[in-house]
Amino acid sequence: MKGITEFSRRFTRYGYGDFLREDRNVDLMFRVWPGTQKLLLWGDPAIAAGYGRLSTFGGSRGVDLCEPLFFKGRQGSGEPGHRDPYIREDLRLPGNREWTKYGYSYLLWGRLLYNPDTEPETWRRQLRSTYGAASGEVERSLSSLSRILPLVTVVHGVGGSNNGYWPEVDQSEAWQTVPLEEVGGVFSGTIDGDYTASAYPLMYFFSVRHSGGGQALYPGLAADLSNQPYVTIRSTGS
């Protein structure tokens, strides 16, 4: 099946597409794949329960959830004691305990995927122990905030990969033309500061039109990512 989805039917890659045929001879489990190293807090009982109810759709076997810090070691780059999600030391949790931030998320997914009709008291106990009298407001606020990105992704899902799609900050539109100046055979241009004031520079792509016709997509990133988010285009002739 992968031989098909990687080529002629690649558009089915981020869905169940061809996988739920009635005559299939393998089981299927859905995967909630983070696809990103962004670390926004999430917690909505309604969405978690919805996944639980629908995870057996078409005879499927359930859901495999990749937890929030799954990409802390993205592509084998994780090392013990490294890649803390907090730059400021006073915000870091001692002993690499940043996973505790997501305890509420783990609880919701774990209980509601298993039983979508779990009693709310199951998670409200934890909220009360942490937030006391404010627990009700915390539950309602986080639930509402947690529905924003799923809604944007479904309604405006222009891509399934975070390499080229960042729904929190829509930078997908053509925003301006950048003049390039040649200095010593190197063409360079300055990108507007408001556009580059982002903590996620991998989202910057440039379509460069050559004088001889055609265009190319940049950047070609340096191995140490030192050329982000600015891109220098070297001259290959007039």
Cis peptide before 229 (omega within 30 of 0): yes
Q: Report the first-to-last Cα separation within the chain, whole angstroms.
A: 46
Cα–Cα distances in Å, from 83 out to 15, 72, 80, 86, 91? 31, 6, 9, 8, 14
The structure tokens listed for 145 are 């905030």
Average pLDDT over residues 7-36: 77
Give me the sign of the Cα torsion angle 149, 154, 159, 160: positive
Higher-pLDDT residue of 10 and 206 is 10
* Order of all β-strands in the sheet with 233-234: 181-183, 186-188, 233-234
One-letter amino acid for residue 21 of the chain:
R
Around Cβ 19, how many Cβ atoms within 10 Å?
Answer: 15
pTM: 0.65
Give percent of the chain above pLDDT 70.
52
Q: What is the CA radius of gyration of the chain?
A: 22
What is the per-residue DSSP string for 104-127? HHHHHHHHHHH-TT--THHHHHHH
pLDDT (tens digit per residue) in 126-136: 999 999 999 99
Confidence of residue 168 (pLDDT cuts 50, 70, 90): low
Residue 100 has pLDDT above 90, yes or no: no
- Model pLDDT, residue 39: 63
